[in-house]
Amino acid sequence: MMRSLWAGVSGLQAHQMAMDVEGNNIANVNTTGYKYSRVNFADLLSQTSKIATAPQGDMGGKNAIQVGLGTKVNAVTKIFSQGSIQTTDKNTDLAIQGDGFFVLSGDSGRTYKYTRSGDFNFDAKGHLVDNNGYIVQGWVRDSQTGKIDSTTSVTDITIPPGLTAPANPSSYIALKANLNSGDTIISKSPIRPLDSVDGTAGTDNVQGTRDDEKIDDFEVLFNEKGEAFNLQEGQGIKVSFDGGKTTKEFRYTNDSTKVDTTAASGVYRFKSTEDLRAALQHWAKQTENTVEVTVNERGKYVIDNSNQNAANDLNIVVSSIEDDNTVENVRFTNAFQSLSGELPAKSTVSRVSQIINAATYASSIDIYDSLGTKHTVRFEFRKSGYKRDENGTKVGTVWDMKVSVPEPGDIKGKVFPNEVDGQITFNKDGSLSSYTPTSITYTANNGSAPNQIIDLKFGSAGDFDGLTSFDSRSNTASITQDGYQSGDLIGISIDESGMVIGNFSNGRNMSLAKIAMARFTNNSGLQSEGSSLFTETANSGAALIGEAALGGRGFIQSSALEMSNVDLSRSLTQLIVVQRGFQANSKTITTSDQMLNTLLQLKQ
C-alpha cells in the first residue's frame, strides 16, 4: 500500500480534530470566562531508506533519505489571555483583571475547583455561590476580633441573611479647631454674672442650683464689638457718685497681690470682673449705703439705687485716666461711660455699662453608648489668661474648657456630675501645649454599660494637628468619634482586593469577608471540567491561594464579567485554513487511489 494514502488519512484525522477545537471555540464565543484552545500539529515518525553518511576521502557526505508518514495532533493548548471586561448591573458579578482564578468548593473545602467566570449570587443561606452551586472560598470576619485574617486557610464565604451590626460605643472624640487669640473676635459671650455680695460670683448662690462660680480676668476681655481692651498696668477709669465733687481712680493691675477693692491706698485696683464690681460698690456706698453694683446675665455692670431705704441721689460721672505715666484706654473708658448720669434714690431705673465680653467658642458632637443610644457632648472654651515664662513675658494663651453632657448623663464632674472643667494652654506659635482632662468617663444611666471611657484627642504637644490658637476666626475644622448605632444589612459592595463590604442601615460600612484568588505556575496545565471550571493537575503546579492584587494575582472588578477571549475573526479564518487542509489531505487520498488503480490495470 502507498504510504501517501496513510499520510492523507492522518491528515484528515488531525484536521478533523482541529475543526472540532475551532468549532468549540466558536460555540463558546459568548461564554463568560471561557479561554479558547489552539491545536498544535506535529509530524509522525519518518521511514528511513538510507541513513546519512559522513564525508570520506575525496567524497562528500550524504544526507539521509526519509519519507514522512503523516501528521498528528501534538497538543491542544488553552490560551489564557485576558478577555474583555463587560460591566453589568449586578454587584456580585466579578471579573478578574490579570492572572488568577476564583476558588470554589462543593464539599466544605476538601477539594477545590477554579474559574474565571465570576457570575456569583447569594443563596438562601447566605452562601456566595456560582451558577453550579459551588461556594466561593475566602476568609470571613471573626465575630470576636472583628478582623479578617487572610493568613489562615480559606473557607466558605457566607453572609448570614438579616445580619445586624451591633452598636459600637464611642471610645474617643477627636477635635481639630482654632481658638481665636487675636484682638478682634466674632465668637464671644458676655462675662459671667455677679451678685452684690463681695467676693462671690453668680446670680444664684442657692446650694444645688447650676451656678457658674468663676470670675473673668480683665486682661483677656473685650468690649461689646469684640475689640480687646488690652488693659495695661495702671490703666482704668475715674468714677464719682456726687457729680464730680469727689472722684476715685480704678486702675487695672496684673498682680493679684496688688488688688485693692477698698482703696486703702487711696486708689482702687482691680484685676478681675469681681474686683471691679466690689470696688465700685464700695465707693458707691460712701454716698448711699444701700446701693448695689452687680453684673447682669447680659454681661453689663449695673448700678441699682432702688432700695426703699435709699436716702441719697446719685450723680454718676465716669471719665478716663490719663497722666504722664498712663495712656488712656479709650475702649475701656467708652465701655463704662454709659454708667454716667443721675440715679435718684428709690429709682426703678438702673445705670448700666456696655456689654463686657469674653472670647468663647463651643463645639459639640453626638456619641453613642453600648446600646447605640445617641448623646450629645458639648465643649465650651473660654479665654482665661496668658501663659507666661519665668520673666512674666506672655508666651501663649490659656483657655478654660467645660465638657458637659445632658442629664441624667454622668461624667464624674466635681461640682455637677454632668460637667467637667478643664484647661488648655497654647504656645507662642499657636501650637498646642497641654490640655486636661485627656479623657472622660461617661455613664448614660439608661441601662447601657457604665463607666464608658472616652479619650479626648485634641492634638499633640507642640504640633498643629488638633487644637490651635491663631489670630484667626474660631472655627471647627473637624470633630469625629468612632461610635455608631446598630444597623441592619441593606447591601454589599466588593472592592478590587476582593473585600466584601456590608452596607448597613445605620450608615456604616463593615468588612464582612474577603474573596480568595489562586494562581498557578502553568495555567495551560489545568484540566477543564466544563461549566467554566478547572481543576488542578500534576503539570499545572499547586494552587497558590492568597489575596487579590498581591503575589502576581490580578485585581477584582465588581459589577463586571470577563467575556470569552475567543477572537471570532481569527476563528473563522482558522476554519478556512482547517477546511483547506482537510480538502488537501482528502486530495492526497484520492490521488493515491488513482495511482493504485493504474497499477492494477497493468495486468490487463
CB burial of 97-130 (b: ≥16 within 10 Å; e: otherwise) equals bebbbbbbbeeeeeebbbbbbbbbebeeebbbbb
- Please state, in angstroms and rounded to a whole number, the distance separating the CA atoms of residues 428 and 397: 8
Q: What is the separation of C-alpha 461 from the centre of its chain, rounded to a whole number of angstroms? A: 23
What percent of the chain clears pLDDT 90, i.e. is strictly above it? Answer: 83
CB 269 within 8 A of CB 248: no
pLDDT for 7 beyond 80:
yes
Helix residue ranges per DSSP H, 360-495: none
pLDDT tens digits, 145-165: 889 999 999 999 999 998 998
Query: 559: phi > 0 → left, psi -120 to 50 → alpha, else beta; which?
Result: left
- Please state, in angstroms and rounded to a whole number, the distance separating the CA atoms of residues 460 and 465: 7
So what's the pLDDT on residue 213?
A: 58
Beta carbons within 10 angstroms of residue 583's beta carbon: 11
So what's the pLDDT on residue 198?
A: 62
- Please state, in angstroms and rounded to a whole number, the distance separating the CA atoms of residues 79 and 509: 39
CB 135 within 8 A of CB 156: yes
pLDDT tens digits, 239-276: 999 999 999 999 999 999 999 999 999 999 999 999 99
Assign 442 to helix, strand or coil: strand
Average pLDDT over the chain reads: 93
- Please state, in angstroms and rounded to a whole number, the distance separating the CA atoms of residues 292 and 280: 9
Beta carbons within 10 angstroms of residue 380's beta carbon: 18
Question: Burial of 590 by CB count in 10 Å (0-12 exposed, 13-18 middle, 19+ buried)?
Answer: exposed
One-letter amino acid at 61 equals G
Cell numbers that stand for 489 in this block: 444589612
pLDDT tens digits, 108-153: 999 999 999 999 999 999 999 999 999 999 999 998 888 999 999 9
Give the residue extent of every domain in the chain.
3-81+566-603, 85-166+488-562, 172-184+358-481, 192-355
Can you tell me which residue has the cell 557526505?
A: 61
Across the range 320-330, mean pLDDT stands at: 95
Beta strand residue intervals within 405-538, DSSP E: 419-426, 432-436, 439-442, 452-457, 467-468, 475-481, 487-494, 499-504, 509-519, 527-530, 533-535
The more confidently predicted of residues 44 and 266 is 266
pLDDT tens digits, 169-219: 999 999 999 999 999 999 999 999 999 886 554 444 433 344 445 799 999
Q: Phi first, then psi: give them for residue 312, nearest 5 degrees.
A: -115, 140
Q: What confidence category does residue 604 fall into, taking pLDDT thresholds of 50, 70 and 90?
A: low
Helix residue ranges per DSSP H, 483-563: none
DSSP category for residue 152: S
| DSSP3 helix / strand / coil % (the chain, rounded to 5) | 15, 40, 45
Assign 591 to helix, strand or coil: helix
Across the range 568-577, mean pLDDT stands at: 92
SS3 for 14-40, per residue? HHHHHHHHHHHHHHCCCCCCCCCEEEE
The more confidently predicted of residues 456 and 414 is 456
pTM of the model: 0.74
- Please state, in angstroms and rounded to a whole number, the distance separating the CA atoms of residues 193 and 461: 34
Q: What confidence category does residue 588 fall into, taking pLDDT thresholds of 50, 70 and 90?
A: confident
Which of 253, 261, 260 shows the shortest CA–CA distance to 233? 253
The more confidently predicted of residues 593 and 246 is 246
pLDDT tens digits, 421-448: 999 999 999 999 999 999 999 999 999 9
Which of 424, 482, 408, 411 shows the shortest CA–CA distance to 453? 411
DSSP category for residue 8: H
Query: For the domain 172-184+358-481, what is the CATH code?
Result: 2.60.98.20
So what's the pLDDT on residue 1?
A: 53
Instruction: For residue 437, say if its preceding peptide bond is cis, omega within 30 degrees of 0.
Output: yes
pLDDT for 322 beyond 80:
yes
So what's the pLDDT on residue 585?
A: 87
Beta strand residue intervals within 336-485, DSSP E: 341-343, 351-355, 357-368, 374-388, 394-404, 419-426, 432-436, 439-442, 452-457, 467-468, 475-481
Across the range 572-597, mean pLDDT stands at: 88
